[in-house]
Structure 1
Amino acid sequence: MKTTTRTQLSLMMFLQFFIWGGWFVTLGTFLGETLGASGVETGAAFSTQSWGAIIAPFIIGLIADRYFNAERILGILHLIGAVLMFQLSRATDFGQFFPYVLGYMIVYMPTLALVNSVSFRQMADPAKEFPFIRVWGTIGWVVAGLAISHLFSWDSQEGIGQGLLRNTFVMTAIASAALGLFSFTLPKTPPKARSEDASIRDKLGLSALGLLKDRNFLVFFVSSVLICIPLAFYYQNTNPFLVESGVGKPTGLMTLGQVSEVFFMLLLPVFLVRYGIKMTLLVGMLAWALRYVLFAYGNADAQFLMLVAGIVLHGICYDFFFVSGQIYTDSKAGESYQSAAQGLITLATYGLGMLIGFWVAGMITDMHVVEGGHDWRSIWIYPAVFAAGVFALFLLAFKNERIKYKGEEV
Structure 2
Amino acid sequence: MTTKTRIQLSVMMFLQFFIWGSWYVTMGTYLNEIGFQGTAIGNSYSTVNLAAIVAPLFVGMVADRFFEGQRVLAFLHFLGGLVLFWVSTIKDPTAFYWVLLLYSLCYMPTLAIVNAVAFYQMDDPEKEFPGIRVLGTIGWIVAGLVVGFLKVEPTEIPLQIGGGVSIAMGLFALSLPKTPPKAKGEKVTVGKVLGFDALRLMKDRSFAVLIISSLLISIPLAFYYGFTNLFLNEQGMSNAAGKMTMGQMSEIIFMLLMPWFFRRLGVKKMILIGMFAWVARYILFAYGNNEELVAMFYLGILLHGICYDFFFVTGQIYVDKAAPEAVRNSAQGLITLVTYGIGMYLGSVYSGIVVESKEVLDAAGKVVSHDWRHIWLVPAGLAAVVLLLFAALFREKKEVRM
Please indicate, yes or no, whether the TM-score normalized by the shorter chain is above 0.5: yes
Matched, 1:375 2:354: no
2:249 aligned with 1:259: yes
What is the Cα deviation at residue 328 of structure 1? 0.2
Cα displacement (A) at 1:276 = 1.1
Deviation of the 1:38 alpha carbon: 1.1
Q: Does 2:301 match 1:311?
A: yes
Amino acid at match of 1:9: L
Query: Following TM superposition, by how much is the alpha carbon of 1:299 offset from its aligned partner in structure 2, in angstroms?
Result: 1.0
Structure 1 residue 55 displacement after superposition: 0.7
Task: Describe the shift of the 1:15–1:199 C-alpha distance in structure 2 as closer, same or farther (beyond 3 A).
Answer: farther
In the alignment, is the contact (CA less than 8 A) between 1:86 and 1:169 conserved in 2? yes
Alpha-carbon deviation of 1:197? 4.3
Are the aligned partners of 1:202 and 1:340 in contact in 2 as well (CA < 8 Å)? yes
Following superposition, the deviation at residue 90 of structure 1 comes to 1.1
Distance 1:273 1:48 in 2: 38
TM-score by length of 2: 0.96
Does structure 2 retain, via aligned residues, the 8 Å contact 1:48–1:105? yes
- 1:52-131 equivalences under 5 Å are 52-131=51-130
* Residues 195 and 353 (structure 1), Cα distance of their counterparts in 2 relative to 1, 3 Å cut: farther
Describe the SS at the equivalent of 2:324: helix
Identity across the alignment (%) = 50
Report how many aligned residue pairs link the two structures.
396
Q: 1:6 offset after TM fit, Å?
A: 0.2
Cα distance in structure 2, aligned partners of 1:196 and 1:295: 50
The equivalent of 2:26 in structure 1 is 26
Pick from 288, 294, 302 the counterpart of residue 278 of structure 2: 288
Q: Over aligned residues, Cα RMSD in angstroms? A: 1.2
Q: In the alignment, which residue of structure 1 is the partner of 2:131?
A: 132
Per-residue CA deviations over 1:224-262 (Å, capped at 9, x if unaligned) read 000000100000110000010000100001000100000
CA distance in 1, matches of 2:184, 2:389: 40
- Which residue of the other structure, out of 235, 260, 265, is the alignment partner of 1:275? 265
List per-residue Cα deviations over 1:21-61 (Å, max 9, x = no partner): 00000011111112x11111111100001111111011112
| 1:166 alignment partner in structure 2 | 156
Contact 1:206/1:340 (<8 A) preserved: yes
Could you tell me how far 1:196 is from its partner in structure 2?
A: 5.3
1:279-358, aligned counterparts within 5 Å?
279-358=269-348
Which residue, 356, 359, 374 being the options, matches 1:366? 356
- 1:388 aligned partner: 384
Deviation at 1:350, TM superposition (A): 1.0
Q: Indicate the SS of the match to 1:370.
A: strand
Residue 185 of structure 1 corresponds to which residue in structure 2? 175
Following TM superposition, by how much is the alpha carbon of 1:169 offset from its aligned partner in structure 2, in angstroms? Answer: 1.4
Counterpart for residue 365 of structure 2: none
Cα shift at 1:194: 5.4
**Residues in 2 aligned to 1:400 and 1:328: alpha-carbon distance in whole angstroms:** 9
Q: How many Å apart are 1:290 and its aligned residue? A: 0.4
Match status 1:154 vs 2:163: no
Task: Give the corresponding residue for 1:212.
Answer: 202
Deviations along 1:342-384, whole A, 9 cap, x unmatched?
0011111111101111111011111111243100000000000
Aligned match of 1:228: 218
Structure 2, unmatched stretches of 5+, are 362-367
Alignment check: 8 A CA contact 1:277 1:402 kept: no
Question: How much does 1:400 deviate?
Answer: 3.1
Contact 1:23–1:169 (Cα < 8 Å) also in 2: yes
C-alpha separation in 2, matches of 1:179 and 1:193: 25
